[in-house]
Structure 1
Amino acid sequence: MSDKPEEQSTFRCGYVAVLGRPNVGKSTLMNHILGQKVSITSRKPQTTRHRVLGIYTDDEAQILFVDTPGIHRKEARSINRYMNRAASSSMADVDVLLFVVDGTQWTDDDELVLEKLSHAKGKKILFVNKVDKLADKEDVLPHIAHITEQCDFDAVFPGSALRGHNLKELTQTLKQWLPEGDLFYPEDYITDRSERFMAAELIREKLMRSLGEEIPYSSTVEIEQFKFNDKGVLHISGLILVERSGQKAIIIGKGGQRLKQIGRDARIEMEELFDAKVFLELWVKVKDGWADDERALKSLGYDDYR
């Protein structure tokens, strides 16, 4: 269901913005193509808050995936406006725009992204995700027709980010549509994000996965210490910020058990990611209104959308 690109003969390198509303599988798609977790994931919308660069390199090309926060209409607080700016600004100066939608539903937020895409320049690909959940795969065709009537896509791929369906074909098309050029990053790079950033995101992922609907959106993580000792043990101190004292109590849990579990789950993944023994300490602190305070957001690293 796609136009066949020209055969590739030289090395190519370029940027692909991964766009869509919250919770359609953008980060899962990028992680699966990379073969490694670079963007955190959870079942909750708005898990991704920052633009995250994922670097895919093989003998033919280097694809620089820009994973973006989900674009959404409701901008309740400053952090929502930040996420929308981060995603929208990613549409400029990229070679390919990859629009990810859910094959099982369509929302006003999808319409908002489609409207922005229709005015953007560059190659456009539609990836219809989660089609493996459809009992009859033919049901996706009216969905695709509705979207492609509103925007001229250069290619359409139905598939599944979680199960890897049609991702090889998608990757091959992306490679062949990039401009000719040399590597932007060394071939062993998987992201341009720092290890401190990755540590904070892993802690936040465990928060998102272990808590209820409200608290994850009122919390963020700041790494206060990231240091190896003389025995090669990585000492990490993470500060979890919340907006109210009641949220602090819920995160800590009875006898501190929930916080211990969050730390245990994060530490296990950190040891694999950093290839080192990790000693992780977590604290929870109340910082009232941080998610609606532009200055506080910048101090916490929410200022990279420009």
Structure 2
Amino acid sequence: MSKDEQESYPEVDADFKAGFACLVGRPNAGKSTLTNALVGQKVAITSSKPQTTRHTIRGITSTEHGQLILVDTPGLHKPRTLLGERLNDLVRETLLEVDVIGFCLPADQRIGPGDQFIAAELAELRRGRRRPVVAIATKSDAVDRDRLAEHLVAIDGLGEWDDIVPCSATRGDQVDTVAEVLMSHLPTSPPLYPEGQLTDEPEAVMIAELVREAALEGVRDELPHSIAVVVEEMVPREDRPADNPLLDVRVNVFVERSSQKAIIIGRGGSRLREVGTTARKGIEALLGQRVYLDLHVKIAKDWQRDPNQLSRLGF
């Protein structure tokens, strides 16, 4: 942090805490939804489809007592492709760098092999390099009180945790408590980011994620793992009045097969228009200006298994 940025916090007390937290959990455990709820604004994409998070998104939440930088990660899972292996490696690398880990276990699902796999990984990490781990019972609104109590007991028996906290990110229940508990495990430090900043993710990455989120809705279960999005160009439209600018954004959506391309485009291009409309609204809200979104769907055959194509697509 620069001197000017530090001076934007003139009254930071000696007990102020700041640091990084990573939310882990099996796919679709509510990590991205909780990240957005803690930050108070969408900084990570959400979907009903598993394994939709591809990049670590830093969401920043600041209070008068601390600053929590949230790193969202893909769900840890048994990899079936080179992409899956790289996503798992990304999670493990992130765990070694953060100050506290939040392990998300959805209350509407029983503890299963996926949770046990992650718990074993975290236990190994704690033996090698001590990191506080907070178990978070997400989606508490989806079950009744008795089922939630049963879930909390199961979590307690799954491993050794520094804290256990139930919450509902969609309803806002105990989200503040989750933030307070995670912050309690951070080191004493001045703020790491300027006040008011919510993420440090580049705009192009955020735009690509918004397009991919829109493309994921309402498609077949196998399609999410085959979609990659790359922002090719962001150029202000020439000859526009200063008080009404327009940004031209050209985006390529990559899939692995022609049949998947047909799904994304839809009959007569209807589905692609829906994707564009939904994504454009999110992009305009992110950038605070009007956007012309130019979407193109392309085939990159078997890109998830091709190291050269993975690198080209940002993995």
TM above 0.5, yes or no, is yes
| 8 Å CA contact retained: 2:228, 2:253 | yes
AA aligned opposite 2:56: R
2:92 corresponds to which residue? 88
Q: What per-residue deviation string (whole Å, max 9, x for no partner) do you get for residues 145-200 of structure 1? A: 33323422111111212111111111112223211111222222211111100110
1:145 corresponds to which residue? 153
Deviation (angstroms), 1:9 = 5.9
Counterpart check, 1:161 vs 2:169: yes
Distance 2:173 2:69 in 1: 21
Larger mean Cα displacement after TM superposition, 181-190 or 75-84: 181-190
Counterpart check, 1:252 vs 2:265: yes
**TM-score using structure 1 length:** 0.92
Distance 1:201 1:32 in 2: 17
AA aligned opposite 1:125: V
RMSD of Structure 2 on Structure 1 (CA): 1.5
**TM-score using structure 2 length:** 0.89
Larger mean Cα displacement after TM superposition, 275-284 or 76-85: 76-85
Which secondary structure state, in structure 2, belongs to the residue aligned with residue 56 of structure 1? Answer: strand
AA aligned opposite 2:139: K
| 8 Å CA contact retained: 1:118, 1:150 | no
Deviation (angstroms), 1:296 = 1.3
Q: What per-residue deviation string (whole Å, max 9, x for no partner) do you get for residues 118-162 of structure 1? A: 122211111101222213x12233433333234221111112121
Which secondary structure state, in structure 2, belongs to the residue aligned with residue 246 of structure 1? Answer: helix
Identity across the alignment (%):
35
Counterpart check, 1:117 vs 2:108: no
2:140 corresponds to which residue? 131
Distance 1:210 1:270 in 2: 20
Counterpart check, 1:242 vs 2:252: no
1:267 corresponds to which residue? 280
Distance 2:200 2:168 in 1: 26
1:287 corresponds to which residue? 300
Distance 2:118 2:77 in 1: 8
AA aligned opposite 1:126: A
Distance 1:93 1:42 in 2: 27
Moved segments of 4+, more than 4 Å: none
Deviation (angstroms), 1:47 = 1.0
Distance 1:249 1:94 in 2: 41
Larger mean Cα displacement after TM superposition, 41-50 or 55-64: 55-64
1:64 corresponds to which residue? 69
Structure 1 residue runs of 5 or longer lacking an equivalent are 1-7
Larger mean Cα displacement after TM superposition, 137-146 or 89-98: 137-146
